[in-house]
Amino acid sequence: LEIRSAIRLERGISMPDAAASSPAQAPGTRRAGADTGSLQALQCLSRASDLFGQSKDGAWQAKAAAEWRTLRQVQGELETEKGQAVFLGTSLAATVRKCIHLGDRRSANKLRDKFHISERRFAWLVLNALAEIKDWDGLEAF
Amino acid sequence: MATLPNFELGPLPLGLIREEGRRQLLDALDTRRGKKVLVLDPRISGFLRFVAEVPLLREHGVEQLVLLDTNSLAQNGIRSVVYLVRATIDNAQTISKQIRNTAREAKGVEFGVFFLPARSHVCEKVFAEEGVFGDIHIGDYPLNFIPFDSDILSLELPSSFKDVVVDGDKTSLHAVASALLQLQAMYGAPSLIRGKGPGAAVVKDMLVRMQQELGSQAPVPGEGAIDTLLLLDRELDPITPLMTQLTYEGLVDELLGISNGTVQFDVNGGQRQKFALNSSDQVFHELRDLSFAAVGPELGKRTKGLRTDYQGTKGPDRSIAELKQFTSQLKSLPHITRHINMAEAVSTQMRRRSLRARVHVEQLLVDGRDVESCCENIEEMMCSGMDLLTVLRLLCLVSLTQGGIPKRHCDGLRREVLHTYGHEHVLTLASLQAAGLLKRQEGARSNFAAVRKAFRLLVEGLDDAVVPPLDAAYTYSGYCPLTARLAESALRPQGWTGLEDALRLLPGPHFEVKPTAYSQEASPAETPEPATPAAAASGSLGLLSRPGSGTGMGGGAGAFANLMRLGSSFREAPSTGATSKQHKTVLVVFIGGVTFAEIAALRWMASRPGSNCNIVIATTKLINGNTFLSSFIDGNLRQGMAESV
């Protein structure tokens, strides 16, 4: 029952999230970093994480929800920093890729450390992202 | 282009269902007078062509066909609107909005809402809450099974498996039972019902109860065209749909996607092709169930055959008859070209999506070897941008074959899914877990190894390309679908006797019912009537006025009697044409979906020398691994995914 309620709550927050992600697909239509449901979404995610944590085998879901919360927070900061509304509502992998596309290796490295992305996986992400923007010099330097 | 299958060629003349469906659709349309707009639920619009074509709808006053949304229909200058929708709350709300929007701009528009297959109280309540209940005429459109081919019936309920297993929602099981009851009214009741699995048992109980409620009206078991009913539950075998189908039709479905019996793909030149895939295409009819490995050589043989025939016609001493025969063969040429194009498109996709690597992992997993390297492989696939559904298929396959994902990989793989495809998929993973498809290994090993052994699921050294194939396992290149083995053993004369130990490895009870004439169990208040189809078909007033309790067929007893009358001529003379009595007709029902490769395995079984049965397949939905798992992804997310593609 605990899980059910947690999931329902989770569903509730995935709605504003879905709403937030659709403008994100059309960059420029939304002011960077100004996600209306942002604060609310973060609160919901914290609560979901708590609820999952209380249930019997919701430990990994609790961790996932907490991690999601951190991701959203970081994405919000990145959007304000870059002045581009391209991060919120995307996955961690997409966020790293975007950072590379924008030529910001420092943020990408920060993401790697914060979310414990394995070296191998991170190398894959960076290489793919560099190849996508045809940054052959960057590729060679990597 | 949109060629329909020839429904009369199969073991049961399914054209009857089509005719009945068409008649009722036209009746529904005719309840509204004059020119009208027909508004369709997107879930219905795809398969409606199996029932009625657009020109026919036009004859009955349909000026416009639109998909359901909330936009006002007033500007069309139309006086009446007919909706054809599934009974869901979302639909009822959308319709209410559209009706209000339309009514604001135009007065006096008539609205008729027809629910498929029957209305629900919730929808009526929504209409009442939205304040439009008084403005609309509500009706049922009792179309249950939709004939997809001469031997395939589908209810088109895509989320049936998930509804039952995760949400405990048994609506779809009720839908199966009432659809079977309707089918029995048309084609007669079977003399033997056999089945296995929790859902199958529920359907059987419902069906038997519904029959008893009909009392003397029910068709007499064993007198109709259906001899045996076999109920199989997807819960018995969730593994097969996760594997890549390797028959021609199956692979086309996996890689190009077959939707409502049609396929769309790009030919090398970049031009888009769309055509119907069913048994009316002779070339496809012969090739569809072969292993893809055998399709190339077979197509080659056919083109070569044509060439030698052509050279044969050049001699001066050819008779007109011979020339005629050759030209009739030439007619198959466009079909052959089409299939060469399609086989090419499949091969291109195979290379692009690194299908070989995927199939290799699947084969290792069902064999129970190298699980470690499989987990690493899956992780690698995520890195290289494999799509979510493929990855989920493989993860579930690991879990189901090994009794859980090995501990040291589980957390990492789960995290990787969230990182790559978005944290919102924590919901997807949770519902897969709730369905038992994905879990962490906790001590207890899976009994899959025992099942594999008991049912001989792996066949070593099988050459897929041999025509005709030697074992049903050709459909998945050496792995035989469990459902096929279950059906094979169920159709032996001794049935499942002797297999009890093996059957106990699988979830749910197995059962065998030999229904006797249900009339004996009818309520004592009723005067016993001869329970012959003729009596029911004559439809005495007393019978018709009896309330149809719980038949779930919308129209109740009246509608049932009607169907009985329709099928009566057929049931009284069961041994006509193709259904000679040397062959038993078996209806195999897959509750929770069936893949094309599984159908191929069953057809292969029925076509073997010494087989004495014809098989008709009924299912809740034709599925492949992707469509099977996509019902586990939350509706909102699914929409987001579709947009981002």
Boundaries of every domain in chain B? 15-143, 147-237+481-629, 353-446
Residue type, A77: E
Average pLDDT in the B208-223 region?
81
Q: List the beta bridge partners of residue B614.
A: B585
Nearest residue in chain B measured CA to CA from A7: B427
Q: Which of B30-34, B207-211, B282-286 has the lowest mean pLDDT?
A: B30-34
Q: Which of B161-165, B273-277, B502-506, B529-533 has the lowest mean pLDDT?
A: B529-533
pLDDT band of B198, cuts 50, 70, 90: very high
Average pLDDT in the B62-91 region?
85
Q: Say whether B424 and A3 touch across the interface (CB within 8 A).
A: no
- Say what the pLDDT of residue B77 is: 72
- Say what the pLDDT of residue A56 is: 62
Higher pLDDT, B77 or B452: B452
Q: Say whether B421 and A115 touch across the interface (CB within 8 A).
A: no
Higher pLDDT, B592 or B335: B592
Burial B36-59 (b: 16+ CB within 10 A, else e): bbbbbbebbbbbbebbbeeeebee
Average pLDDT in the B137-159 region?
92
Structure tokens at B138: 């509500």
B85 pLDDT higher than 90: yes
| A75 touching B (Cβ < 8 Å) | no
Nearest residue in chain B measured CA to CA from A128: B384
Residue type, B410: C
B283 pLDDT higher than 70: yes
Q: Å from B346 to nearest chain A CA?
A: 26
- Say what the pLDDT of residue B281 is: 87
- Say what the pLDDT of residue A41 is: 67
Domain B147-237+481-629 in CATH 3.50.50.60: no
Burial class (CB in 10 A: 0-12, 13-18, 19+), B488: middle
CB A21 within 8 A of CB A88: yes
Q: Say whether B637 and A91 touch across the interface (CB within 8 A).
A: no
Q: Say whether B422 and A125 touch across the interface (CB within 8 A).
A: no
Higher pLDDT, A38 or B80: B80
pLDDT band of B549, cuts 50, 70, 90: very low
pLDDT band of B41, cuts 50, 70, 90: very high
Q: Say whether B426 and A68 touch across the interface (CB within 8 A).
A: yes
- Say what the pLDDT of residue B525 is: 36
Query: What part of B 243-302 touches A (C-beta under 8 Å)?
Result: none
Query: How large is the C-alpha radius of gyration of chain A?
Result: 17
Rounded Cα gap, residues B400 and B415, in angstroms: 19
Interface probe for A, chosen from B423, B425, B638 (most Cβ of A below 10 Å), is B423
Q: Give the rounded percent of residues in chain B with a pLDDT score beyond 90.
A: 36
Task: Determine which helix (DSSP H) or strand (DSSP E) holds B195, and give its type and residue range.
Answer: strand B192-196
| B637 touching A (Cβ < 8 Å) | yes
Q: B262: closest CA among B47, B413, B530?
A: B47
| B385 touching A (Cβ < 8 Å) | yes
Compare CB distances from A61 to B384, B420, B430 and report the shortest one's residue: B430
- Say what the pLDDT of residue B464 is: 76
B359 pLDDT higher than 90: yes
Average pLDDT in the B496-507 region?
88
B524 pLDDT higher than 80: no
| B644 touching A (Cβ < 8 Å) | yes
pLDDT band of B207, cuts 50, 70, 90: very high
B645 pLDDT higher than 50: no
Q: Which residues in chain B touch residue A91, judged by CB atoms under 8 angstroms apart?
A: 418-423
- Say what the pLDDT of residue B583 is: 80
Query: What part of B 411-450 touches A (C-beta under 8 Å)?
Result: 411, 414-416, 418-424, 426-427, 430
pLDDT band of A64, cuts 50, 70, 90: confident
Q: B483: closest CA among B324, B586, B590?
A: B590
Interface probe for A, chosen from B384, B388, B408, B415 (most Cβ of A below 10 Å), is B415
Compare CB distances from B636 to A14, A64, A120 and report the shortest one's residue: A14
CB B61 within 8 A of CB B15: no
Q: Which of B43-52, B344-353, B530-539 has the lowest mean pLDDT?
A: B530-539
CB A48 within 8 A of CB A6: yes
Structure tokens at B434: 């709730």
* Range with top average pLDDT, B341-355, B457-471, B628-642: B341-355
Q: Which residues in chain B touch residue A15, judged by CB atoms under 8 angstroms apart?
A: 636
Average pLDDT in the B177-199 region?
92
| B53 touching A (Cβ < 8 Å) | no
A13 pLDDT higher than 90: no
- Say what the pLDDT of residue B480 is: 94
Average pLDDT in the B89-94 region?
91
Higher pLDDT, A85 or B594: B594
CB atoms within 10 A of CB A29: 10
B544 pLDDT higher than 60: no
Q: Say whether A67 and B637 touch across the interface (CB within 8 A).
A: no
Residues, chain A, total?
142
Nearest residue in chain A measured CA to CA from B166: A4
pLDDT band of B500, cuts 50, 70, 90: confident
B527 pLDDT higher than 90: no
Compare CB distances from A71 to B421, B423, B427 and report the shortest one's residue: B423
- Say what the pLDDT of residue A30 is: 32
pLDDT band of B567, cuts 50, 70, 90: low
Rounded Cα gap, residues A102 and A135, in angstroms: 11
Residues, chain B, total?
645
Q: pTM, whole model, 2 decimals?
A: 0.85
* Mean per-residue pLDDT of chain B: 83
Domain B353-446 in CATH 3.90.1300.10: no
Give the phi and the psi of residue B357 in degrees, each rounded to 5.
Answer: -60, -40
Q: Say whether B419 and A93 touch across the interface (CB within 8 A).
A: yes
Domain B353-446 in the same topology as domain B147-237+481-629: no
Average pLDDT in the A61-69 region?
82
B540 pLDDT higher than 90: no
Q: Say whether A124 and B422 touch across the interface (CB within 8 A).
A: no
Residue type, B173: L
Task: Give 3-state DSSP helix, strand, coil % of chain A, rounded to 5.
Answer: 75, 0, 25
Q: Which residues in chain B touch residue A117, judged by CB atoms under 8 angstroms apart?
A: 419
Half-sphere exposure of B373 (CA within 13 A, CB side): 10
pLDDT band of B523, cuts 50, 70, 90: very low
Q: Which CATH superfamily is domain B15-143 in?
A: Sec1/Munc18 (SM) protein, domain 1 (3.40.50.2060)
Rounded Cα gap, residues B243 and B257, in angstroms: 16
